[in-house]
């Protein structure tokens, strides 16, 4: 095919355009990043990822479990290291003898469990990889009671959709939220065999830095879901009205509720 074309010299024009475009693009991206409507728009990624991953995980496969030789020599302590709450400090001073895990909300049989009682529940041990949202990983060995065992004893009501974990620490130093740390998972993860309330880590009682006396392990999710210092578990129908309403401390600070990726 043959035709005549005008090819004006536009190199200068293009160069100037590219430079101006790039800086406008950067400023524009920052403005978009802060605009609530746009954040909601790109937030659709969370719904798509959740829908796709959940449909692939329908058969509830286990997260990879590692050999003892593959464990991290040092398991990084992250987030709270020592809750400053006076109530927690009293429990710690008495080596958690007075600790009670309360299980309430939409349950027919609210519970108040001592550490002894939790130890007496069926136990699961797993060597799993902890993946922080920041990018690092650590492999540790966790022993505890499957959450399903506790929820079965508490007799979840039909309308319950989420399990909320209320914790003893607050991250005033990191965020600006005066409230306590909290997290939530849905029933899909709550009844997964590897979802446990761990009281033992690497064959020793859980250390304060890692969430003593009780920490949630929900192995197919990122680190911020693994709530430490769990004091109370509530079964709820909706996450609205709890904390900032997004289902967790970090969720209220912009992170996704679905932390599977």
Partner 1 sequence: MGEGEAQIENPPDAPTEPAPPAREVIYRHKLATRITHWINVFCISLLLMSGFTILNAHPRLYWGQYGANADAPVFSITSMQREGRWIGITQIGALRFETTGVLGASEMNGRVVPRGMPAWITLPSYRDLATGRRWHFFLAWLFVVNGLVYLAFGFANGHFRRDIAPTREELKPKRLWADIVAHAKLHIPRGEESKRYNTLQKIAYAGVIFLILPLMLLTGLSMSPSFDALAPWLPQVFGGRQSARTIHFITANLIVLFVAVHLFEVFLVGAWNEIRSMITGYYEVKPEKAADVK
Interface residues with partner 1 (CB under 8 A) are 1-5, 7, 10-11, 14, 26, 29-30, 33-34, 39, 42-46, 48-49, 53, 56-57, 61-64, 66, 70, 72-76, 129, 131-139, 219-222, 250, 253-256, 259-261
- Looking at the Cβ atoms of 14 and 20, the one nearer to partner 1 is 14
Smallest gap from Cβ 70 to partner 1, in A, equals: 6
Query: Which residue from 220, 197, 224, 216 is spatially nearest to 64, judged by alpha carbons?
Result: 220
Structure tokens at 34: 């802060």
- Looking at the Cβ atoms of 38 and 90, the one nearer to partner 1 is 38
- Looking at the Cβ atoms of 182 and 257, the one nearer to partner 1 is 257
- Looking at the Cβ atoms of 170 and 221, the one nearer to partner 1 is 221
142: β partners: 126, 201
Structure tokens at 207: 């250390």
Smallest gap from Cβ 160 to partner 1, in A, equals: 22
Distances (CA, A) of 190 to 52, 117, 154, 217: 19, 20, 13, 10
Smallest gap from Cβ 1 to partner 1, in A, equals: 6
- Looking at the Cβ atoms of 66 and 161, the one nearer to partner 1 is 66
Q: Which helix (H) or strand (E) holds 165?
A: strand 162-167
DSSP summary character for residue 156: B
Smallest gap from Cβ 76 to partner 1, in A, equals: 4
DSSP string, 201-259: ETTEEPPGGGTTT-EEE-TTS-GGGS--SEEEEEEES--TTSTTTTSSTTGGGT--S--
- Looking at the Cβ atoms of 73 and 158, the one nearer to partner 1 is 73
Angstrom distance (rounded) from CA 72 to CA 141: 10
Distances (CA, A) of 248 to 67, 163, 208: 32, 11, 21
Smallest gap from Cβ 86 to partner 1, in A, equals: 31
Residues near 89 by Cβ (< 8 Å), separated by ≥ 6?
A: 83
Q: What angle do CA 213, 179, 101 make, to 5 degrees?
A: 30
Smallest gap from Cβ 123 to partner 1, in A, equals: 21
Please name the residue that has the structure tokens 């190199």.
11
Smallest gap from Cβ 64 to partner 1, in A, equals: 4
- Looking at the Cβ atoms of 65 and 111, the one nearer to partner 1 is 65
Smallest gap from Cβ 235 to partner 1, in A, equals: 23
Please name the residue that has the structure tokens 């693994």.
226
- Looking at the Cβ atoms of 3 and 94, the one nearer to partner 1 is 3
């Amino acid at each position: 095919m043959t035709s005549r074309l005008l090819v004006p010299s536009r190199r200068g024009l293009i160069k100037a355009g590219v430079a101006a475009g790039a800086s406008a693009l950067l400023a524009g991206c920052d403005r978009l990043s802060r605009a609530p409507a746009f954040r909601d728009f790109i937030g659709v990624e969370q719904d798509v990822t959740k829908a796709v991953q959940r449909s692939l995980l329908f058969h509830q496969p286990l997260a990879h479990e590692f050999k003892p030789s593959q464990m991290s020599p040092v398991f990084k302590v992250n987030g709270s290291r020592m809750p400053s709450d006076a109530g927690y400090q009293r429990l710690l001073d008495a080596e958690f003898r007075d600790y009670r895990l309360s299980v309430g909300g939409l349950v027919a049989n609210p519970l108040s469990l001592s550490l002894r009682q939790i130890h007496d529940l069926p136990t699961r041990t797993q060597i799993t990889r902890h993946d922080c949202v920041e990018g690092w990983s650590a492999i540790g060995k966790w022993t505890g009671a499957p959450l399903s065992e506790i929820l079965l004893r508490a007799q979840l009501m039909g309308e319950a959709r989420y399990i909320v974990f209320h914790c003893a620490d607050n991250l005033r130093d990191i965020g600006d939220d005066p409230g306590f740390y909290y997290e939530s998972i849905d029933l899909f993860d709550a009844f997964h065999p590897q979802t446990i309330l761990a009281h033992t880590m690497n064959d020793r009682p859980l250390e304060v830095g890692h969430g003593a006396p009780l920490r949630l392990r929900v192995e197919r999710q990122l680190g911020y879901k693994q709530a430490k210092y769990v004091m109370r578990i509530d079964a709820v129908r909706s996450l609205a009205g709890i904390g900032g309403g997004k289902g967790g401390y970090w969720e209220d600070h912009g992170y996704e509720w679905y932390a599977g990726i």
